[in-house]
Chains A and B, each alone.
Chain A
Amino acid sequence: MTKLAEYRGKHELLINLVLRDLRGRYKRSVLGWSWSLINPLATVLIYWVIFSTFLKVQPPRGDPSGLKSFVMFLVCGLLPYRFLADSMSGSAESLIVNANLVKKVYFPRELLVVSAVGALLCTFLIELAVLCVVLLFMGNMVLTWIPMLLVVIALETCMVLGISLVLAPLNVYLRDVKHFVLIALQLLFYSAPIVYPLRLVPKNANILGIDIALRDVYQLNPLVPLIDCFRAVLYDLRFPDAADLGYVAVWAIGLLVFGHWVFGRLDRRLAEEV
């Protein structure tokens, strides 16, 4: 409980740290903030060319929205993934790049991780806002689904925060962590229905002579139902599957609690090891 008291009145510091990240991010680049849109656009363009034009991946038709567009299908999954990926790789470094603060000033160090995630959350929200505008132009009436969208964003943020609170201090003690994260992120990207729809994942498969229910295993990855929730409210315009939402919520809360616990354990000698 003393821990909670420590956080009280720290929201201003948090806001300041987030602003520092945001203001500092594109300083000295000519295009400045346009980069935050150029980056995802370029990624979308590349995937669109490869997966839609070369590999001929067919997007599902939105039900009940009736929308059928590979680009929109892709972006609805890509943006949540990028938020997760950027947070994981960025927050792993968040304590190390702020080593001088950790060593010289005392304040709850979680704030450095939280602010790194917070700054990326801001970018994510802007990207989603742009996406919503485009979807409106394409005839998808997303406005009524925005409250639901916010719930899904909140769940993803808890999840991301939980993971980051584990990765950041761990990376201080073991600098290899950030390299593992980069590999893990590639695996996550292809093991979630981002560039392809879920129906392309076979129900059953025979791997090394063992029959397994591949799609069930595949769906254990919380990123799968999470992306499904985003697509439900943005692409399909329907209420997310309750089981998906529940599964994501359990992971989100579990990861957050676990992250907080791990950070508390690893906090003790941060200033010496960083």
Chain B
Amino acid sequence: MSTAISIVDVSKKYRLYHERNQALKVAILRGRRARYEEFWALRDVSFDIEQGSTFGLIGENGSGKSTLLKCMANILRADKGSIVVAGKLSALLELGAGFHPELSGRENVFLNGAILGLSKKQITERFDEIIEFAGLERFVDSPVKNYSSGMYLRLGFSVAINVDPDVLLIDEILAVGDAEFQQRCAQKFVDLKERGKTIIIVSHALDTIRNFCDEAVLLHHGRVQTIGPAATVVDEYLEGVHIDRQVDVHGPRSGSGEIRVERVSLLDASGKSTTRVRTGDAMTVRLEFVATEPVERPVFGLGIARIDGAEVTGPNTRDAEIVPDKIEGRGHVDYRIDRCLLLPGTYDVSVAIFDYTISQPFDARNRALRFDVEHGTPFQRHGIITLDGSWDIVEDAPSS
């Protein structure tokens, strides 16, 4: 295996201007352009990316991952160190960058293709495919300013993906268009991967990184914190996040308020409040409420999602056919889980109390509780939950 991108001791410095004033006045009065502080967005970053691999860059906001991607794409120049790319590189940082709103879809495909480095002949060859993939056959000759934002992005994506580079850089743009289009995009990436292209992804969608990437690097304040197999790096990132981040106890709240959520807590098997459980443990989510006036047929619901936003489950009392006729005063609702099948990670619980039609919330609180799951039984590394299945490996008796 040869190296597709070799990054050696790359550092990148930004200037943070105290007053963003590009006026000559400042230059003359102070004898220089403007006062600024230097800030290292990347510090001594070194690693290699194998040809044909799919590589993820993860980290908190401001960790330098997008800066690194832009340095690879040659949009930004590193202040120190070097980045060597083998083969043709294409960066999908913004779809439809350079589209001219007054020009037609057809004209923009040629323009955008040329910007991304295609020759006229190549674009002509791929034109039908590009338009078909974007699903815009009927709108080819309308100006793109009349396109919906979805159409615009689809066209941008379709041109970009047809550039057919050796190395493809992607920044947070996998979620484009409707489910069907996303499906086709995913297929396209798999095709590229199978054809031995190197793909580098920056994303907050940790699922994508975990499932799609072979390797990943975790950046922290511009330095490489971990590099290795994608699943391991994602796990380490999730571990780190729950130490660093503070839970917003009074998360966003909405609703008409006749009945309100007072407190949300997680109880372990012994009934003690906790924020840490193991896979396989018993646990209870307790929602304490207070109704200031009689409320008819309320529905209690909760949603559990991993912190990257991947929804796990959303049970409610109406689906379970437990709806009291009327509620008044204080009380609590328990959602008892005999065996927690969540796999290690950090999860958020959102809660809501609705009217019977589940259209009007009385009270809804997003991310009211955050808790961590640690390895337990059953042990499983990949996924969000375990189905607690069992394996059987049977060898057929050799037929003679």
Q: Does A98 contact B (CB under 8 A)?
A: yes
CB-based contact A106/B98 at 8 Å: no
Is there contact, CB below 8 Å, between B77 and A268?
yes
Chain B's nearest CB lies how many Å from the CB of A79? 27
Q: Mark contacts of A147-191 with chain B using CB atoms, 8 A cut-off: 1 yes-contact digit, 0 otherwise.
A: 000000000000000000000000001111000000000000000
A23 part of interface (Cβ distance < 8 Å):
yes
Beta-carbon contacts under 8 Å, B68-116 to A: 70, 73-77, 91, 93-94, 97-98, 100, 102-103, 107, 110-111, 114-116
Query: Which of A101, A174, A272 is the one whose CB lies under 8 Å from B97?
Result: A101
Q: Please report the C-alpha to C-alpha distance between residue A23 and residue B110 in the assembled complex, in whole angstroms.
A: 13
Who on chain B is nearest to A14 by CB? B114
The 8 Å CB contact of B75, one of A12, A28, A105, A174, is: A105
How far apart are the CA atoms of A173 and B24 in the complex, in Å?
A: 10
- Chain A CB count within 10 A is highest, among B14, B24, B111, B114, for B114
B247 in contact (CB, < 8 A): no
B-contact 0/1 string along A207-225, CB 8 Å cutoff: 0000000000000000000
- Cα distance, A191 to B94, chains bound together (Å): 46
**A105 with B76: in contact, given A20-B100, A24-B103, A174-B22 (CB under 8 Å)?**
no
Nearest residue (CB) in B for A101 is: B98
Q: Is A271 at the interface (CB under 8 A from chain B)?
A: yes
Instruction: Tell me which residues across on chain B come within 8 A of A268, comparing CB atoms.
Output: 77
User: What is the minimal beta-carbon distance from B94 to any residue of chain A, in angstroms?
Assistant: 4
In the complex, A199 has a CB within 8 A of chain B: no
| Docked complex Cα distance between A102 and B33 (Å) | 22
Q: In the complex, what residues of B have CB within 8 A of residue A146's CB?
A: none
Contacts of A272 in B (CB 8 A): 14-15, 76
Residues of B within 8 A of A53 (CB): none
Q: In the complex, what residue of chain A is closest to B41 when comparing beta carbons?
A: A272
Q: For residue A61, which residues in chain B have a CB less than 8 angstroms away from its CB?
A: none
- Residues of chain A with a CB closer than 8 A to B15's CB: 272
CA distance A23 to B106 in the complex (A): 13
* Nearest CB of chain B from residue A166's CB, rounded to whole Å: 16
* A175: min CB distance to chain B, Å: 5
Residues on the B chain within 8 Å of A20, using CB: 100, 103, 107, 111
Return chain B residues, CB-CB under 8 Å to A98: 98
Give the residue of B27, B93, B103, B107 whose beta carbon is less than 8 angstroms from that of A105: B93
Residues facing B in A103-134 (CB within 8 A) are 103-107
Report if A27 contacts B (CB, 8 A).
yes
Complex Cα distance, B98 from A268, in Å, reads: 21
Report A240 CB to chain B, min CB distance, Å: 38
User: For residue A268, which residue of chain B has the nearest CB?
Assistant: B77
Is B119 a contact of A12 with CB atoms below 8 Å? yes
Assess A104 versus B94: contact at CB under 8 Å? Given A175-B23, A268-B77.
Answer: yes
Check if B102 sits within 8 Å of A28, measured CB to CB.
yes
Known: A13-B114, A107-B117, A174-B22. A23 touches B103 (CB 8 A): yes
The tally of residues in B whose CB lies under 8 Å from a CB in A reads 31
In the assembly, what is the distance between CA of A271 and CA of B15, in Å? 12
Q: State in angstroms the CA–CA spacing of A101 and B24 once bound together.
A: 26
- In the complex, residue of chain B having the shortest beta-carbon distance to the beta carbon of A269: B77
Closest beta carbon of chain A to B68's beta carbon, Å:
14
- B120 CB-CB contact with A under 8 Å: yes
- Chain A hits for B102, CB < 8 A: 23-24, 27-28
Instruction: List A1-53 residues whose CB lies under 8 Å from chain B.
Output: 9, 12-13, 15-17, 19-20, 23-24, 27-28
> Is the Cβ of B93 less than 8 Å from the Cβ of A104?
yes
Complex CA–CA separation, A105 to B143 (angstroms): 22
In the assembled complex, A204 has its CB within 8 A of some CB on chain B: no
In the complex, per-residue mask of A237-274: 1 if CB is within 8 Å of any chain B CB, else 0: 00000000000000000000000000000001101100
Tell me which residues across on chain B come within 8 A of A13, comparing CB atoms. Answer: 114-115, 117
| Chain A residues whose C-beta falls within 8 Å of the C-beta of B75 in the assembled complex | 102-106, 271
Q: Among the listed A15, A19, A100, A174, which residue makes an inter-chain contact with B94, where contact means beta carbons less than 8 Å apart?
A: A100
Question: In the complex, what residue of chain A is closest to B143 when comparing beta carbons?
Answer: A27
**Which one of A16, A173, A271 lies within 8 Å of B111 (CB-CB)?**
A16
Residues of A within 8 A of B27 (CB): 174
One of A102, A106, A174, A176 near B91 (C-beta < 8 A): A106
Specify which chain A residues have a CB less than 8 angstroms from the CB of B103 in the assembled complex.
20, 23-24, 27
Verify B22–A16 contact, CB threshold 8 A. Answer: no
Contact among B22, B76, B100 with A271 in the assembled complex (CB-CB below 8 Å): B76
CB atoms of A104 and B22 under 8 A apart: no
Give the distance in Å from the alpha carbon of A50 to the alpha carbon of B97 in the complex. 46
Among B23, B97, B114, point to the contact of A100 (Cβ < 8 A). Answer: B97
CB-contact partner of B119 in A9, A101, A104, A106, under 8 A? A9
Nearest-neighbour CB distance to chain B for A223, whole angstroms, equals 25
Interchain CB contact under 8 A, B97 and A106: no
Question: Which residues of B (57-75) have their CB < 8 Å from a CB of A?
Answer: 70, 73-75
Since A103-B75, A174-B24 are in contact, a sample of 4 more A-B pairs with Cβ atoms closer than 8 Å, ordered by chain A residue number, is A9-B119, A20-B100, A23-B102, A272-B76
Q: Closest 9 A-B residue pairs measured CB to CB?
A: A27-B102, A16-B114, A104-B94, A104-B97, A13-B114, A176-B24, A106-B74, A104-B93, A101-B98
- Selected A-B contacts with CB under 8 Å, 29 pairs: A12-B114, A12-B120, A13-B114, A15-B114, A17-B111, A20-B103, A23-B102, A24-B102, A24-B103, A28-B102, A101-B97, A101-B98, A101-B115, A102-B75, A104-B93, A104-B94, A104-B97, A105-B97, A105-B115, A105-B116, A106-B75, A107-B115, A107-B117, A174-B27, A175-B23, A268-B77, A271-B70, A271-B75, A272-B14
Q: Which residues of B contact A (CB under 8 A)?
A: 14-15, 22-24, 27, 33, 70, 73-77, 91, 93-94, 97-98, 100, 102-103, 107, 110-111, 114-117, 119-120, 143
Contact surface of A with B, Cβ cutoff 8 Å:
9, 12-13, 15-17, 19-20, 23-24, 27-28, 98, 100-107, 173-176, 268-269, 271-272
